[in-house]
Amino acid sequence: MPLQLYEAKVAERGIDQVRHVIGVAAGKGGVGKSTVTAHLARALASLGKSVGVIDADVYGPSMHHMLPCLQGPSREGQWLIPASSEGVKLMSVAFFRGPGAAAVVRAPIANEIITQFLLKTQWGALDYLLIDFPPGTGDIQLTLMQQSQLSGAILVTTPQEIALMDVRKAHECFCRLRVPTLGIVENMSYLNAGGEKIFPFGEGGGVRLAQEINAPFLGQVPLEPQISLMGDQGKTVEDSPAALQFAAIAKKMVAHKELSYFEVVFKQMSVGSVIKEQLQGGYSGAGIQKIFQNGPCEVVIEWTDGTICRYDLSDIQRCCPCARCSENTPQALGLASRAYSVGRYAIKFEFTSGCSAGIYSLALLRQMKGLLV
């Protein structure tokens, strides 16, 4: 089925009924991130949770092998309907091209594909939507963090220092966009040999990293040949040490305090009504509790530290931080027609005329202050 890119923004988003969107990332390839994602999805489903997975690796998707589906995605009006693997919903670019075909697309097209998987796929009411991040910290990763309103990220590493270096970069990337790290999973930690643990890639790297970045250490997953073999066949290994670790990690995710208070509620905007409401936590600095428009020319932001600021919309537009307006003083021409979150770190305003390209970080809005109430 061809994947048609969409252009128009719609008020309803495919992830609006998803309770928690969680990124599974590593910053590099080869650490078993996709394996961890697939097994965590199944472990969460076994706990009675409704789960979906996005394979965000446009250039090297693998999740359709690990979570095999009897039937691919379908289309229903403007929406894509995800495939299903034993109750776990799945979207992957692999469904939209021939077997073994390479994805030869430029980054803007890859970003549009990812955006469609997030916003134009009818995920329905899910407890968890896991996103299997591609390697690196580039354009696609930025799109995922801006568009998906991540509840948090799980970082996957192996014990050796070369892997830890890249995971540190991934952690820094999430920190910059105010996405909390939910924990570290150390994959391929050790090999069981007759009851003795052998550490072929070194010992304790994941624990040290968790201590370094002040994040929970979620567990060590042993190196088991059977995991790789069964994963290639789209099957789950049960009752092995690795399977028990995945089950334990899933239980920690369900009980994670960071996820207990991150909820997002989107409401239609009209003059005088709430246009966005969000409870945020898990990072330094005040988040936005509520935004509402007070008349045609003023927006009010209530911050989580109790501060209330009034902003003149013309001042907001004049302070547009986009590259074009940074070089030339923009004119304030329009009224705000919409405001929406960009990830967990910024707000974007759409104006009826003039520039609407600016992404206003929470730090910038705090610096602008407005008129304190």
Domain match, 358 and 221 both: no
For strand 18-25 and strand 152-157, is the pairing parallel, antiparallel, or unpaired? parallel
Query: Is 2 part of any domain?
Result: no
Q: Is 326 strand, coil or helix?
A: helix
- Residue environment code for 98-111, b if the CB has 16+ CB neighbours within 10 A, otherwise e: eeeeebeeeeeebb
For strand 18-25 and strand 126-132, is the pairing parallel, antiparallel, or unpaired? parallel
Query: Is 8 part of any domain?
Result: no
pTM of the shown model? 0.75
Say which residue the tokens 């999973």 belong to: 185
Give strand pairing partners of 351. Answer: 336
Domain match, 248 and 310 both: no
Nearest 5°: phi and psi at 317? -70, -35
**Single-letter residue type at 23:** G
Domain match, 171 and 319 both: no
Count: domains in the chain: 2
Last residue of a domain, one of 208, 240, 260: 260
Last residue of a domain, one of 205, 238, 260: 260
**Contact (Cβ atoms closer than 8 angstroms) between residue 136 and residue 162:** no
Domain match, 283 and 231 both: no
- At 271 the pLDDT is 29
- CATH code of the domain in which 357 resides: 3.30.2020.30
Domain match, 269 and 218 both: no
Q: Collect all residues with Cβ–Cβ distance below 8 Å to 299 and sequence separation of at least 6.
A: 291, 292, 293, 310, 311, 313, 316, 336, 339, 349
Domain match, 29 and 145 both: yes
- At 358 the pLDDT is 81
**Which structural domain range is residue 320 located in?**
263-372
Domain match, 248 and 277 both: no
Domain match, 203 and 272 both: no
Q: What is the DSSP string of 36-98?
A: HHHHHHHHHHHTT--EEEEE--SSS--HHHHS--SS--EEETTEEE-EEETTEEEEEGGGGS-
Query: Is 292 part of any domain?
Result: yes
pLDDT, tens digit only, all 373 positions of the chain = 444 433 334 446 788 889 899 999 998 888 999 999 999 999 999 999 999 999 999 988 999 989 999 888 999 988 999 999 999 999 999 998 877 777 777 888 888 999 999 999 999 999 999 999 998 878 888 888 888 878 899 999 999 888 899 999 999 988 888 788 999 999 999 888 877 888 888 888 999 999 999 899 999 999 887 777 776 676 777 778 888 999 999 999 988 766 654 443 333 333 233 333 333 333 356 777 778 777 667 788 888 888 888 888 888 888 888 777 766 665 655 566 677 777 777 888 877 777 777 888 888 888 887 666 5
Query: Is 3 part of any domain?
Result: no
Query: Is 4 part of any domain?
Result: no
Domain match, 210 and 276 both: no
Domain match, 246 and 301 both: no
Domain match, 131 and 187 both: yes
- At 371 the pLDDT is 61
Query: Is 6 part of any domain?
Result: no
Query: Is 9 part of any domain?
Result: no
Last residue of a domain, one of 227, 260, 293: 260
- CATH code of the domain in which 253 resides: 3.40.50.300
Domain match, 202 and 57 both: yes
- At 279 the pLDDT is 33
